[in-house]
Amino acid sequence: MLMQGDTIIALGNPTDVKEMIRIIEEPTMDTDHGCFLGKIEQMIRYVIWSSGATGIVIGISGGIDSGVAAVMCCRAVGGERVYGYTLTTSITRDEDIHDAADLCRSLGMHHQVMSIEPVLSSYRQIPGYVEDPYLLGNIMARTRMVILYYHANMEHRLVCGTSNKTEYLLGYCTKFGDNAADFQPILHLYKTEIFKYAHELGIPEPIINKTPSAGLWAGQSDEAEIGLTYQEIDTALKALEKNSWVSTNPVEEKVLSIVKRSSHKRGNPPNLLTLH
């Protein structure tokens, strides 16, 4: 149970939550696609219903992950109840804004473009501030999430996450930034699976074909930053999961090292709280 100011009122009893998780974890890519996608919709509808929320807020970057997540939300509750926000900076590309707007228009969902540069300018006044791409990128991600939750809290809506399983396992996200959400409809899908479903869901080709990027600095590319392609990463992750997280080749060893280093992003903060 969370307070209304935190958006979620309740997620039901623990059994209900376990059932919700089971619904999306059981299928694989070999399962009938329509049935598989239907179970994601079912999970989204359950979360909205159980919380008493009035709608969904989602960040729309013009990329494939937010695009697939937005489609699933609109299929689940209708575009009129989904509110997309494209939160731009000085390095946001015009084509990303246009792609985000076109997608939202085609889905019949609300869309608003908003610059976060004024907020970033305020952070630059912090004593000792250093203009570092990595540090600024984290500020951008957390600022965007603050704005999404502001709009969600205003009308008692839920924030939809757009993280995939590959990013989750690698820790390729900003803690309390893009990994924060009330529900995560595509967290069980590897990045390569996201591409497969994007075609089936009718995601526009310009979005599918663009180079994956978090858009945190000019020219940033996910695969270049990680040093491996998503195909290599997902192949390694699947092999590691199957082999009890024991690596058998250099690529798997590199991926395993990243997974281990990022474990703090997947767990609760260390504490000494004991509940009786």
**In this predicted model, what pLDDT tens digit does every residue of 129-177 receive, in sequence order?**
999 988 999 999 999 999 999 999 999 999 999 999 999 999 999 999 9
In this prediction, residue 274 carries a pLDDT of 80
In this prediction, residue 33 carries a pLDDT of 66
Question: In this structure, are residues 65 and 222 in contact, taking their beta carbons and an 8 Å threshold?
Answer: no
Q: Is 88 exposed, middle or buried (0-12, 13-18, 19+ CB in 10 A)?
A: buried
- Domains of the chain, by residue range, sit at 4-212
What is residue 173's DSSP assignment?
Answer: S
User: Residue 99 CB: number of other CB atoms within 10 A?
Assistant: 23
**What CATH architecture is 4-212?**
3-Layer(aba) Sandwich (3.40)
**In this predicted model, what pLDDT tens digit does every residue of 40-87 receive, in sequence order?**
999 999 999 999 999 999 999 999 999 999 999 999 999 999 999 999
Q: Is 38 exposed, middle or buried (0-12, 13-18, 19+ CB in 10 A)?
A: middle
Q: Is 232 exposed, middle or buried (0-12, 13-18, 19+ CB in 10 A)?
A: middle
Report the mean per-residue pLDDT for the chain: 87
Which strands make up the sheet holding 82-88, listed edge to edge?
A: 110-115, 82-88, 56-59, 158-159
In this prediction, residue 217 carries a pLDDT of 65
Where is 180: in which H helix or E strand? none
**In this predicted model, what pLDDT tens digit does every residue of 102-126 receive, in sequence order?**
999 999 999 999 999 999 999 999 9
**In this predicted model, what pLDDT tens digit does every residue of 244-260 receive, in sequence order?**
999 999 999 999 999 99
What is residue 82's DSSP assignment?
Answer: E
User: Residue 225 CB: number of other CB atoms within 10 A?
Assistant: 13
The Cα 166–Cα 95 span in angstroms is 25
